[in-house]
Amino acid sequence: MRGIWKAMTVAAAGMALAPLAAAAQNRADERAFFDLYKQLVETNTVVGEGSCTRAAQQIATRLKSAGYTDAQVTLFSTPEHPEDGGVVAILPGTDASADAMLLLGHIDVVAAKREDWARDPFKLIEEDGFYYGRGTVDDKGMSAIWADSMIRFKQEGFKPRRTIKLALTCGEETTYAFNGAQWLANNKPDLVRAAFVLNEGGGGRLDAQGKRQALAIQVGEKAAQNFTFTSTNPGGHSSAPTPDNAIYELADAVKRVQGYEFPIKFTDTTRAFFTASAQALPPETGAAIKRLLANPADKRADAVVSRDKVLHSTLRTTCVATLVNAGHAENALPQRATANINCRIFPGESVESTLAKLTELAGPKVTVTANQPVRPIAVPPPLDPRIMGAVQTLAAKHFPGTPVVPMMSTGATDAVFFGVLKMPVYGVPGIFLEPDLNGTHGLNERIRVTALYEGRDYLHDLAKALATQG
């Protein structure tokens, strides 16, 4: 999911903090939203354990109760993955010449073991101003907001100029799972085709006291790809070692990866981010950033900026060893040694070019393969003033005094699957998280109650504003 938060704090350093106001949580529409949100959180959607299909059916029932017709609500799954389904809903626009917009969310969650949690991870519990439960943030917070907005639009009789589409899918959190977003893009492109997509990946950051620091809109992301290094050898008895050793050859190859830096590159988004960061960071770092913006090949400037691991990753493709496996017996020379190299590929670069560089670094005695599945590379979206303008205007209304920072995520989302349709995907702001990321993917995931309801209001207004644009 998210990979932007430390970098966003860097960009917001030195900016004024805005106090967090209390949310009402008393309106009838808020109570209806809570009922939807609670049901979604309490429906286990861990891939291979729970059922996204059940959660999608529950949302479809709510949409139809609000007035959507059978033709406007599509439930989907495949025979091979009957519990990994999703739902698409469509609210037709009034202008047939206006391209649609897509609200995207994923309803699957990372696994959570009850014995490890202080509370039942699949019961929504309110405690000390927070909602606790697996998925309260990632990504059932935004998914519930999008579904709730579609219901409110229908109940309000809202007539958008452009058609609004909703897609809630499964499989984002598990690399080898059936991925609903990918399936829709490849098999039902007309069902989800749109001028742009609003997705997870952006958000907001609170400080330790709960004050707002910054909002981020994610405009582009890296692609995640794993590669396997393999060294083989006939082996033999360990009492008679030879210079050729699969472990040594693999170690040498991995060390060459450690010592290699991919070249610095900029997108429009990262250039805007670093330009803003240069004004807020300490003078030495700020000056180094300015030199890199003028000359990406400046090694001395790179060394200064790259002291921060997130800034370092935002500048380039990165590859790192994450797993090793070698040998078959303690008294035998190793016959095989392997390592997993996890790469985060910069927009505009490819799996093929990264594979070629790793093969060069590995040397002739180590083979390098790209692990399946090979996911597509995200297409960096433009800093579209229509999108950015609406984001900033509504941020000033809902979160006055909070700066909006454009970001490129060093992680990856389902945005990668919409490049084939040439659909730009934006990770929108609105939901503020704590400095520790609220336990996302970890224990006792939670979200501040006020942050959820205020984010809901912001995202609802943002979707409405973009749907009425001329």
Q: List the domain boundaries for the chain.
A: 5-221+378-467, 224-370
Classify domain 5-221+378-467 by CATH number. 3.40.630.10
Which amino acid appears at position 74 of this protein? T
Q: Taking the alpha carbons of 165, 170, 173, 178 in that order, is the dihedral positive or negative? A: negative
Q: How many CA atoms lie within 13 A of 372 on its CB side?
A: 1
Find out whether 163 and 100 touch, Cβ atoms under 8 Å. yes
Residue 377: the pLDDT is 80
Calpha distance 401→393 (Å, rounded):
12
279 has which bridge partners?
A: none
Find out whether 100 and 162 touch, Cβ atoms under 8 Å. yes
248 in helix, strand or coil? helix
In 96-189, beta strands by DSSP E: 101-106, 125-127, 130-132, 164-169
Residue 315: the pLDDT is 98
Residue 9: the pLDDT is 54
192 in helix, strand or coil? helix
Residue 25: the pLDDT is 66
Residue 22: the pLDDT is 46
**Exposed/middle/buried for 261, CB within 10 Å: 0-12, 13-18, 19+?**
middle
Calpha distance 305→424 (Å, rounded):
29
Which amino acid appears at position 42 of this protein? E
Residue 111: the pLDDT is 97
DSSP symbol at 378: P
Residue 73: the pLDDT is 98
| 203-206 and 432-433 beta bridge pairing | parallel
Average pLDDT across each block of 10 residues of the chain; the chain has 470 residues. List them in order. 51 52 70 97 98 98 98 98 98 97 98 97 96 98 98 97 98 92 98 98 92 94 95 97 97 98 96 90 95 98 96 97 98 98 94 97 98 85 96 98 93 91 96 93 96 97 95
Structure tokens that stand for 86 in this block? 């999703």
DSSP symbol at 109: B
114 in helix, strand or coil? helix
Give helix 268-280 / helix 283-294 axis angle, nearest 10°. 150
Residue 4: the pLDDT is 47
Classify domain 224-370 by CATH number. 3.30.70.360
Structure tokens that stand for 462 in this block? 């943002």
Residue 17: the pLDDT is 52
Residue 275: the pLDDT is 94
Please list, in sequence order, all residues whose beta carbon lies within 8 angstroms of the beta carbon of residue 119, skipping any fewer than 6 positions away: 125, 127, 132, 133, 444
